[in-house]
C-alpha cells in the first residue's frame, strides 16, 4: 500500500513515516498543500493523510480540490484542533476519517487499515504484478515462474515504485527523494547501483519486463521487445 503524508510538522512527519514503513506501507512525505496536490496528480496512491493546517493550501482546500476532480482516494484528516465544527467540515468536504493530535500510533494504524480495507472492498492485495513478475509487499519477494528473490529494503522500495508506475518515466532524483530522503547527501550514482542490482535479479528470473534508462531523464519499467 502506498500512502501520501502531507504534514508540515517535520518531526511528526518523520515519526509517522517511520511507523508506516515499519508496518510495510510505502510513504511519500510532503510539507504543504500545493506539493500534496502535485504529488497526487503525478503519482498513484492508495490513501492520503492530510494535516488541516498547512502552508500554501490547507488540508481542507486540498480535499475540496481532490473531490471536485472526482478523485475518490481515501483521506484521513489530521489536526491539532478538537472542535466539533472542524470535524464536521472535514467529513462534509469528503474526508473518510478524522484524527485529532496528539494520537496514539495504534489508533492511527487502525484507522488507516480500516480506510484502505474499505476502498478494496475488504480485500487488500499484498502483491504488485507486471508482465511475469510479481512483488509481494508483505514478504518483499520478487518472483516469476522461474523463481524468487527476497529484496533488500531499498531494492524493494525502488521496485515497488517502478511497479506502481509501469511505463512511466521516473527521474533519478525522484528515487533519491523518496527512498533516501530530501535532506540526504547520498550521491546520484547510488540510484544506478540499485537499478543494476534489480536488473540482475530480473534477468535471473527470466523476466519479460525490463528497467529502461532514458539518458538525462530517468528510468521506466517496460515490456521487453
Nearest CA among 64, 201, 127 for reference residue 50? 64
Q: Does position 96 have pLDDT exceeding 70, yes or no?
A: yes
Phi, psi of 184 (to 5 degrees): -70, 145
Residue 79 CB neighbour total at 10 angstroms: 20
Q: By three-state DSSP, how is residue 80 classified?
A: coil
What whole-number distance in Å separates Cα of residue 116 and Cα of residue 139? Answer: 19
Hey, what CATH topology would domain 2-119 get?
A: Rossmann fold (3.40.50)
The shares of helix, strand and coil residues in the chain, as percent rounded to the nearest 5, are 40, 25, 35
Q: What is the pLDDT of residue 184?
A: 66
CATH 3.40.50.2300-classified regions of the chain = 2-119
Q: For cell 510495510, what's the residue?
A: 24
Query: What pTM value is reported for the model?
Result: 0.59
What is the reported pLDDT for 200? 96
CATH 1.10.10.10 domain position(s) in the chain: 127-223
Q: How many Å is the maximal CA-CA distance in the chain?
A: 58
Identify the CATH number of the domain defined by range 127-223.
Answer: 1.10.10.10
Distance CA 49, CA 212 (A): 32
Q: C-alpha 81: how far from its chain's center?
A: 26
Asked if the bond preceding 31 is cis, omega within 30° of 0, the reply is no
Contact 75, 96 (CB under 8 A): yes
Answer whether 113's CB lies under 8 Å from 49's CB.
Answer: no
pLDDT tens digits, 129-162: 999 999 987 788 999 999 999 988 888 888 988 9
Q: How far is CA 116 from CA 97, 119, 180, 205, in A?
A: 11, 5, 26, 31
Question: Average pLDDT of 94-123?
Answer: 78
Amino acid at each position: 500500500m502506498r500512502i501520501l503524508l502531507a504534514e508540515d510538522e517535520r518531526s511528526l512527519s518523520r515519526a509517522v513515516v517511520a511507523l508506516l514503513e515499519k508496518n510495510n506501507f510505502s510513504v511519500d512525505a510532503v510539507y504543504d498543500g500545493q506539493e500534496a496536490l502535485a504529488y497526487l496528480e503525478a503519482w498513484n496512491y492508495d490513501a492520503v493523510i492530510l494535516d488541516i493546517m498547512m502552508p500554501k493550501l490547507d488540508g481542507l482546500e486540498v480535499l475540496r480540490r481532490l473531490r471536485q476532480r472526482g478523485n475518490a482516494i481515501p483521506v484521513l484528516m489530521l489536526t491539532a484542533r478538537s472542535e466539533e465544527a472542524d470535524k464536521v467540515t472535514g467529513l462534509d468536504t469528503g474526508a473518510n476519517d478524522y484524527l485529532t493530535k496528539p494520537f496514539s500510533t495504534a489508533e492511527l494504524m487502525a484507522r488507516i487499515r480500516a480506510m484502505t480495507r474499505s476502498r478494496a472492498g475488504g480485500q487488500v492485495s499484498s502483491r504488485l504484478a507486471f508482465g511475469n513478475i510479481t512483488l509481494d509487499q508483505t514478504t518483499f519477494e520478487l518472483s516469476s515462474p522461474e523463481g524468487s528473490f527476497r529484496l533488500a529494503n531499498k531494492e524493494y522500495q525502488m521496485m515497488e515504485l517502478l511497479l506502481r508506475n509501469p511505463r512511466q518515466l521516473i527521474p533519478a532524483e525522484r528515487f533519491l527523494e523518496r527512498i533516501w530522503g530530501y535532506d540526504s547527501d547520498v550521491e546520484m550514482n547510488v540510484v544506478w547501483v540499485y537499478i543494476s542490482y534489480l536488473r540482475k535479479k530480473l534477468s535471473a528470473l527470466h523476466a519479460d519486463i525490463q528497467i529502461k534508462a532514458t539518458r538525462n531523464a530517468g528510468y521506466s519499467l517496460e515490456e521487453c521487445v
